[in-house]
């Protein structure tokens, strides 16, 4: 059975962030009554909602605040994207636990109390699997998260599963792999791709942690938005977890070299020591999402990366003009 994501009442947590704001734009296009909860820390996050700000209700708050959550869960569907990223989670595991795990638990408890018919689409991560025991990793791969980000996200997944089974809540977990696209964080803690791009835009070689042979799947944010829509619309997927990724596998060395190829000057990547807990392969199987949800990634790296690079170039220029 399939429902349509149109004219629905929707809550997006972290809706001013990278992935969340793209979901918000899609919801507005679908004439959904959309509420966003976000702590909105930066001017860039505010700009993320420029396209849709006149058509949404924006609540400045955190998923760690149970009252804020409880007052806004009575909707058709919640897209839960509020989270601390990898680097901030390593810097503060306690904060990662509070936001990524307790924030999710606040949503689940509020849904149990007020809105058991609400569907929760939880944005998780492929890093819950930890070091790969086999490739490609499917959803049956053992989960052994090895850093505070992945640990907190996996703990949240377990709570999602518990509430689904114990209380009959309708939930879907989407395990994202290396999502890239416009509006992504391009600061120092923004992640692998944006760090490479910033270096190249400054005329500096990208720094690779470790030997660079680690394999990655990069996923365009547009494909992630489509996956979220499908996760709500395809009811036979409720109660399950799905890998969401692109279908191109690339080593970090190849990725850095590809980004260097877009530079105006010749550049070659350099190597540095690897961080603990992030040296393994991320190579997912998306067969289950294809079969159950009808998910099929459409965007190719050769198109996504130059577009992202140009967007970051413009953003850096805007910030420079503003004296930031």
CA dihedral (312, 316, 321, 324) in degrees, to 10, reads 130
DSSP state of 206: P
Q: Ramachandran region of residue 183, left (φ > 0), alpha (ψ -120 to 50) or beta?
A: left
Contact 164, 149 (CB under 8 A): no
C-alpha span between 106 and 122 (Å, rounded): 13
Contact 164, 172 (CB under 8 A): no
C-alpha span between 182 and 312 (Å, rounded): 8
Which is nearest to 83 in space by CA: 67, 65, 104? 104
295 in catalytic set? no
DSSP state of 127: G
C-alpha span between 225 and 186 (Å, rounded): 20
Cβ contacts of 266 within 8 Å, gap of 6 or more: none
Characterize the bridge pairing of strands 249-251 and 215-217. Answer: antiparallel
- Phi (first) and psi of residue 183, to 5 degrees: 80, 0
Distances (CA, A) of 37 to 61, 69, 234, 258: 6, 8, 25, 37
C-alpha span between 40 and 61 (Å, rounded): 8
C-alpha span between 262 and 306 (Å, rounded): 7
The neighbour count for residue 220, using CB atoms within 10 Å, is 24
The residue annotated as part of the active site, out of 122, 129, 149, 295, is 149
For the annotated catalytic residues, the residue numbers are 149
């Amino acid at each position: 059975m399939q429902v349509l994501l149109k004219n629905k009442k929707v809550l997006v947590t972290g809706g001013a962030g990278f992935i969340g704001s793209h979901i918000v734009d899609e919801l507005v296009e679908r004439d959904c009554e959309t509420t966003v909860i976000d702590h909105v820390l930066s001017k860039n996050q505010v700009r993320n909602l420029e396209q849709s700000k006149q058509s949404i209700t924006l609540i400045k708050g955190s998923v760690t605040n149970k009252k804020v959550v409880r007052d806004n869960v009575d909707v058709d569907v919640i897209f839960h994207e509020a989270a601390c990223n990898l680097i901030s989670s390593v810097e503060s595991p306690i904060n990662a636990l509070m936001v990524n795990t307790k924030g999710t638990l606040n949503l689940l408890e509020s849904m149990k109390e007020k809105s058991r018919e609400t569907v929760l689409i939880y944005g998780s991560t492929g890093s819950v699997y930890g070091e790969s025991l086999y490739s490609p990793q499917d959803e049956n791969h053992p989960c052994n998260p090895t850093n505070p980000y992945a640990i907190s996200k996996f703990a949240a997944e377990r709570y999602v599963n518990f509430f689904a089974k114990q209380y009959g809540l309708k939930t879907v977990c989407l395990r994202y792999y290396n999502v890239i696209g416009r509006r992504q964080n391009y600061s120092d803690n923004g992640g692998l791709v944006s760090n490479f791009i910033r270096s190249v835009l400054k005329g500096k070689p990208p720094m690779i942690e470790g030997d660079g042979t680690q394999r990655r799947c990069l996923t365009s944010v547009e494909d992630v938005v489509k996956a979220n829509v499908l996760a709500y619309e395809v009811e036979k997927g409720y109660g399950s977890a799905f890998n969401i990724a692109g279908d191109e596998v690339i080593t970090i060395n190849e990725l850095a070299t590809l980004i260097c190829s877009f530079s105006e000057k010749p550049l070659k990547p350099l190597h540095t020591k690897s961080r603990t807990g992030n040296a393994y392969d991320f190579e997912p199987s998306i067969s289950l999402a294809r079969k159950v949800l009808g998910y099929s990634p459409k965007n190719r790296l050769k198109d996504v990366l130059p577009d992202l690079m140009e967007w970051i170039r413009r953003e850096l220029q805007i910030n420079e003009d503003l004296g930031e």
